[in-house]
Amino acid sequence: MSSISFEEIMFTIMSATQDTFKSYMNIDLLAGKVEKRVDPVNSDVTGIVGVAGDRVGYIIVATDKISAQYVAKQLLMVDEADDECIRDAVGELTNNIAGVFKTRYHEQYGSVALGLPLVISGQLRAIAEPADSSDQASINVQCKGVTIPFTTADGAIAIKVMVYM
């Protein structure tokens, strides 16, 4: 079995995200500048899938409500997307991206297993950062990883995909 570099993981998750949007919704996503850390993000909706196997970590998809509504309408083929539809769609999207990642990773590098998707809202911040004084719920994540921003050419969708392993 080959050893996989973090750069290979990053490119695999980047192509998994773009391929998922293209396959399921016929949407082309453009990747932005990759940050070699898990960014603090204040998102309306965040999907998280745990990864286990030869390497462990998380795949995190964070977005604003407008992008999440757009994704929900496209992915679930509905005219209107209420909060339940949005949660379902973001969970399904995160799970699909993780599934494509799992298939590609397993084919080349070995065993990988995925957890069930968890969908939350609120602020994600690195453990090293102090909490702000607001009462808003937050979740702390390890800061070793990457954040990849994606948008559509028309700006209808803006998401961040974060991975650490």
For residues 86 and 106, which has the higher predicted lDDT (pLDDT)? 86
- State the pLDDT at residue 24: 94
Render 75-90 in DSSP notation, one character per residue: HHT-SS--HHHHHHHH
Q: What is the mean pLDDT of residues 116-120?
A: 92
Domain boundaries, the chain: 6-129+138-164
**pLDDT band for position 127 (50/70/90)?**
low
- State the pLDDT at residue 97: 96
- The helix/strand/coil state of 16 is helix
Between the CA of residue 28 and those of 16, 33, 106, what are the distances in Å? Answer: 12, 17, 25
Parallel, antiparallel, or unpaired for β 138-141 and 112-114?
unpaired
- The helix/strand/coil state of 129 is coil
3-state helix, strand, coil in the chain (%, to 5): 35, 30, 35
- Whether 95 and 117 have beta carbons less than 8 Å apart is answered as yes
Q: What is the mean pLDDT of residues 115-133?
A: 70
| Residue at 35: amino acid letter | E
Q: What is the mean pLDDT of residues 142-161?
A: 87
Proportion of the chain above pLDDT 70, given as a percent: 81
- State the pLDDT at residue 125: 60
Task: Tell me the pLDDT tens digit for each residue of 18-27.
Answer: 999 999 999 9
**Which residues face 45 on adjacent strands?**
63
Render 51-114 in DSSP notation, one character per residue: EEESS-EEEEEEE-HHHHHHHHHHHHT-SS--HHHHHHHHHHHHHHHHHHHHHHHHHHH--EEE
- State the pLDDT at residue 124: 66
- State the pLDDT at residue 105: 80
Q: What is the pTM of this model?
A: 0.84
For residues 19 and 132, which has the higher predicted lDDT (pLDDT)? 19
- State the pLDDT at residue 106: 78
**pLDDT band for position 1 (50/70/90)?**
very low
Between CA 33 and CA 36 the distance in angstroms is: 10
**Does the pLDDT value for residue 6 go beyond 70?**
yes
Architecture of the 6-129+138-164 domain: 3-Layer(aba) Sandwich (3.40)
- The helix/strand/coil state of 15 is helix
